[in-house]
């Protein structure tokens, strides 16, 4: 975490403007994909998803603007950058395409054609899980000032191993939260086909976890020792 004395109000202000634009654009794009595929705005589950998503993003953004504007600035960079490993570029490009297709599929499935019939109680579990995924993300961002969008060692920012907060339990908590996000979104939106898509997205994320972990072992000083202390990557006692 960046100490209070090193905060940069001007940078934080600029970042907040950028992130407000980014969050608004993301909200509109997601809404267009979901409701466009659904063919209607009368889809309460999609509105619930967007509200939880917006609230979670707003809380994390507020925390970063207050405590770590440098990380907020880093998170505004695109998911594909120069200097990024080729394998990570391929994974991220594939992820973006699959994520868009996933949202469209759930709109077609759960709202337009009604292929899936999901119990309401499972949708409520999905809503709770979605909120939980943002809680994991919040705790992860609060603990780690080096959460770049791409796999790279941030030598210019003096990157070090983080072992506090959720990193004391698993090595990649942000990815664990993302896996919960995928499954919970499909449940909340009421799409069994969406759950299949969540598995595909999860497989890509697990592949990235393996390759990123290998990169950190190789290039980040102290990571191998940390990995010996914290054995599990995504799920305690499992993997």
Which pTM does this prediction carry? 0.90
Give the pLDDT confidence of 99-144 residue by residue, as tens digits: 999 999 999 999 999 999 999 999 999 999 999 999 999 999 999 9
Look up the CATH number of domain 4-229. 1.20.120.1630
Long-range pairs for 63-68: beta carbons < 8 A, 24 or more residues apart: 63/138, 63/141, 63/142, 64/141, 65/12, 65/15, 65/16, 65/19, 66/7, 66/12, 67/1, 67/2, 67/7, 67/142, 68/1, 68/2, 68/141, 68/145
Share of residues in the chain with pLDDT > 70 (%): 93
Q: Mind listing the pLDDT tens digit for each residue in 141-172? A: 999 988 888 888 877 777 889 999 999 999 99
């Amino acid at each position: 975490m960046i100490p209070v004395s090193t905060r940069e109000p001007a940078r934080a202000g600029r970042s907040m403007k950028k992130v407000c634009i980014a969050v608004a654009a993301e909200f509109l794009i997601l809404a267009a994909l979901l409701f466009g595929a659904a063919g209607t705005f009368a889809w309460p589950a999609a509105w619930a998803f967007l509200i939880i998503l917006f609230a979670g993003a707003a809380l994390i953004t507020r925390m970063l603007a207050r405590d770590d504007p440098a990380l907020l600035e880093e998170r505004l960079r695109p998911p594909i950058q120069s200097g990024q490993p080729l394998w990570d570029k391929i994974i991220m490009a594939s992820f973006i395409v699959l994520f868009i297709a996933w949202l469209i599929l759930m709109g077609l499935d759960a709202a337009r054609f009604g292929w899936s019939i999901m119990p309401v109680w499972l949708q409520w579990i999905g809503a709770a899980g979605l909120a939980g995924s943002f809680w994991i993300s919040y705790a992860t961002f609060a603990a780690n000032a080096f959460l770049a969008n791409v796999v790279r060692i941030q030598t210019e920012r003096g990157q070090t191993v983080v072992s506090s907060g959720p990193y004391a339990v698993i090595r990649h908590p942000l990815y664990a939260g993302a896996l919960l996000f995928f499954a919970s979104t499909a449940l909340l939106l009421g799409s069994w086909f969406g759950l299949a898509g969540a598995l595909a997205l999860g497989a890509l994320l697990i592949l990235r976890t393996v390759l990123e972990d290998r990169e950190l072992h190789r290039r980040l000083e102290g990571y191998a020792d940390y990995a010996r202390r914290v054995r599990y990557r995504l799920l305690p006692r499992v993997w």
